[in-house]
Amino acid sequence: MTSADKEKNIDFIREIVERDIREGKHDGRVHTRFPPEPNGYLHIGHAKAICINFDIAEEYDGLYNLRFDDTNPVKEDVEYVESIMRDIRWLGFDWEDRLYYASDYFDRMYIYAEQLIDKGAAYVCDLSAEEVREHRGTLTEPGRNSPWRNRSIEENLDLFRRMKAGEFPDGTRTLRAKIDMASPNMNMRDPAIYRILRKSHHRTGDRWCIYPMYDYAHCLEDSIEGITHSCCSIEFEDHRPLYDWFLDRLDIFHPQQIEFARLNLTYTVMSKRKLAMLVENDLVSGWDDPRMPTLSGLRRRGYTPEAIRDFIGRIGIAKRDSIVDMALLEYCIRDDLNRRAPRLMAVLDPLKVIIKNYPSDKSEELEFINNPEDSSAGSRMVQFSRELYIERNDFQEEPHRKFKRLSPGREVRLRYAYLVTCVDSVKDENGNVTELICTYDPETRGGNTPDGRKVKGTLHWVSAVHSKPAEVRLYDRLFTLENPLESDDFIDTINDESLMVINRCRIEPSAADLAIGEPVQFERQGYFCKDPDSTEGKLVFNRTISLRDTWKRILKNQK
RNA sequence: UGGGGCGUCGUCAAAUGGUUAAGACGCAGGGUUUUGGUCCCUGUAUUGGGGGUUCGAAUCCUCCCGCCCCAGCCA
């Protein structure tokens, strides 16, 4: 692609970045960061933030940092820092040696806080949390100044040092920025910048008993790292004046905070709290349940990083609230997997087929194409024999008008094998078909017709003796509502059929050799991958996504 | 009812006063096909509402309406 062909439409953030480069701001340097708090697992909403920050840095020859924003030891844990790093690497990003922790800067932040006090821009406040709230005012009424607001610099310095030294109990004092208790922006009403908190930190242990607050810490972290563009989600928009205030007061390197809308997806929820609720109430099997929008869940489900990044690229970046259609994500994973997933035959709901005129002591190898979309994927040999399984719903005793598959007297193709005709069926006492009797045409080996005759249907199949049993887990959307939050209680809208386990599946033997998570297409059905629950003797597959199903649509449109 | 932000196809989302208002997904129809898959083709909006400025407005002004965020010693 030449530069003239390049897509001209860029998002507003890239526009800002390009303008800054053009104008030589920060010497044309671009440096971004992704700053998760290590207090939970990453979801696809985080993937958007990661891609925005990291892709932009890459596109403009810049750098990106991974930084853990670990300023609140109450909620944080190393377990999360590990899972976060694993997920980001899985997405395909490499922060090289630029891994940072807010806690690495605690000393510098403390020094900056003393500077703020020195400048008369911060004070130690003895109000309780409750009293602070009372003084803050409301959305429509201004707040009142703290009685401690006009302490001398010396007293503030002394008190702040003693806070650090551990002389005061938790919660008894805070360091506050001295801004404006009447500001229409609540964030500017003398926000707390340090609190006393005796809680062991996962990295600094018990070295500190005071911890900086987000608004104070975050701009400093960005500044210290020389971040040029600090892209965050939109709820921080009215924190930006505070972000700027600290940096201006301290007169240090000043990054630009830019806000964008968070990602929402239909038929799921994205808040950490709500996802946690699903886990805690055993509504899902864990954070990596394949129905979860977490990166670990999507990974286990069989989503690829390429599909997720493609998706993020397609949804664009803007500031308005939106709910992206899950169908777009599904399109992206199908599109990716169609190109790369090798094909396999698997029968989910087996119906026995006897090929009457095929010798019972015979079997033969037939050549199957591994991926029609990728000739380099080659072919494989698959065993054919007298007794086979086909999909139960590929047979209709009294076929629907548009049904193209097997029915009494009709000839269809068994993919890559032979044309067969159904001549009889065996039923149980309830009248259910338990077995089909067919004949095959030996002239049609490979599924070709030397006489040029056409058949409408082509079915997948497995050989009864050669195939292996498997458990298959079919997933559907976790919620029945496009927007579960429109319900009084989103839990009520959980889809009872979001997980369907089927146990008597039969699968082509080579499936046993697949690695955990390796994507495959079960022909005519969908994309699947082996679940970590698989053992030596038991194959377990997750359905990542079904193939598009126009047959289902034909039936639906008829109703 | 204070402040901040946002309203363009069913869903995302371009358009930066002059285009028939991009594109993608979805949906509908058709073609190809040894996967009812893939692929290909066709169709699918006058921009929240009213006034105004202008030769010309989704873009500018104005009034209204609607949605989101903010009253943690969370991030």
Question: In the complex, which nucleotide's C1' lies nearest to the CA atom of residue A447?
Answer: B34
Strand B reaches within 7 A of the A448 CB? yes
Residue A28's SS3 state is helix
At residue A6, the pLDDT reads 42
ipTM score of the complex?
A: 0.97
At residue A448, the pLDDT reads 95
At residue A7, the pLDDT reads 52
At residue A4, the pLDDT reads 35
Q: Is A262 a catalytic residue?
A: yes
Give CA–CA dist A436/A389, Å, rounded: 10
**Tens digits of per-residue pLDDT, A503-541?**
999 999 999 999 999 999 999 999 999 999 999 889 999
Give the model's confidence band at A9: pLDDT under 50 very low, under 70 low, under 90 confident, else very high. confident
State mean pLDDT over A440-450.
96
At residue A8, the pLDDT reads 72
Residue A1 has pLDDT above 70, yes or no: no
Which of residues 459-518 of A have CB within 7 Å of strand B?
none
Tokens of A285: 């099997």
Q: Could you tell me if A389 and A348 are in contact, meaning their C-beta atoms sit under 8 angstroms apart?
A: no
Q: Could you tell me if A108 and A220 are in contact, meaning their C-beta atoms sit under 8 angstroms apart?
A: yes
Residue with tokens 């139960």: A392
Give CA–CA dist A152/A62, Å, rounded: 45
- Which ranges of A124-271 would DSSP assign to H, the alpha helix? 129-136, 153-165, 214-224, 240-250
* A492: DSSP letter: G
Closest alpha carbon to C1' of B24, residue: A314
At residue A116, the pLDDT reads 98
pTM: 0.96
As a whole-number percent, the residues of chain A with pLDDT over 90 amount to 97
Give CA–CA dist A501/A475, Å, rounded: 9
Radius of gyration of chain A (CA): 31
Q: Could you tell me if A434 and A389 are in contact, meaning their C-beta atoms sit under 8 angstroms apart?
A: no
Residue A310 has pLDDT above 90, yes or no: yes
Strand B reaches within 7 A of the A276 CB? no
List Cα–Cα distances, A327 to A160, A295, A477, A548, in angstroms: 54, 18, 11, 11
Give CA–CA dist A238/A259, Å, rounded: 10
Pick from A139-148, A304-313, A550-559: least confident: A550-559
At residue A558, the pLDDT reads 80
**Tens digits of per-residue pLDDT, A375-401?**
999 999 999 999 999 999 999 999 999
For residues A220-236, one letter each, b for 16 or more C-beta atoms within 10 angstroms of the residue's C-beta and e for the rest, the string is bbbbbbebbbbbbbeeb
Work out whether strand A419-427 and strand A411-414 pair parallel, antiparallel, or are unpaired: antiparallel
Question: In the complex, which nucleotide's C1' lies nearest to the CA atom of residue A68?
Answer: B75
Residue A73 has pLDDT above 60, yes or no: yes
Strand B reaches within 7 A of the A138 CB? yes
Tokens of A255: 């990054």
**Strand order across the beta sheet in which A210-212 lies:** A122-125, A174-177, A192-196, A210-212
In order of start, what are the domains of chain A with their CATH numbers?
3-260 (3.40.50.620), 272-341+470-558 (2.40.240.10), 346-460 (2.40.240.10)
Give CA–CA dist A86/A70, Å, rounded: 18
Backbone angle region of A60, left / alpha / beta, with phi > 0 → left and psi within -120 to 50 → alpha: alpha
State mean pLDDT over A43-59.
98
Residue A82 has pLDDT above 90, yes or no: yes
At residue A559, the pLDDT reads 66
Which of residues 312-341 of A have CB within 7 Å of strand B?
314-325, 327-328, 330-331, 334-335, 338
Work out whether strand A99-101 and strand A63-68 pair parallel, antiparallel, or are unpaired: parallel
Give the model's confidence band at A297: pLDDT under 50 very low, under 70 low, under 90 confident, else very high. very high
Give CA–CA dist A18/A69, Å, rounded: 28
At what angle are helices A214-224 and A106-118 packed, to 10 degrees? 110
Find, among A275, A272, A266, A263, the residue nearest to A330 by Cα. A266
Q: Could you tell me if A202 and A219 are in contact, meaning their C-beta atoms sit under 8 angstroms apart?
A: no
At residue A528, the pLDDT reads 98
- Average pLDDT of chain A is 96
List Cα–Cα distances, A213 to A110, A205, A337, A487, A514, in angstroms: 12, 18, 44, 34, 48
Element (H, E) at A506: strand A499-507
CA angle at A295 for the pair A96 and A532, rounded to the nearest 5°: 105
Give the model's confidence band at A456: pLDDT under 50 very low, under 70 low, under 90 confident, else very high. very high
Give the model's confidence band at A2: pLDDT under 50 very low, under 70 low, under 90 confident, else very high. very low
As a whole-number percent, the residues of chain A with pLDDT over 70 amount to 99
Closest alpha carbon to C1' of B26, residue: A327
Give CA–CA dist A311/A280, Å, rounded: 29
Give the model's confidence band at A211: pLDDT under 50 very low, under 70 low, under 90 confident, else very high. very high
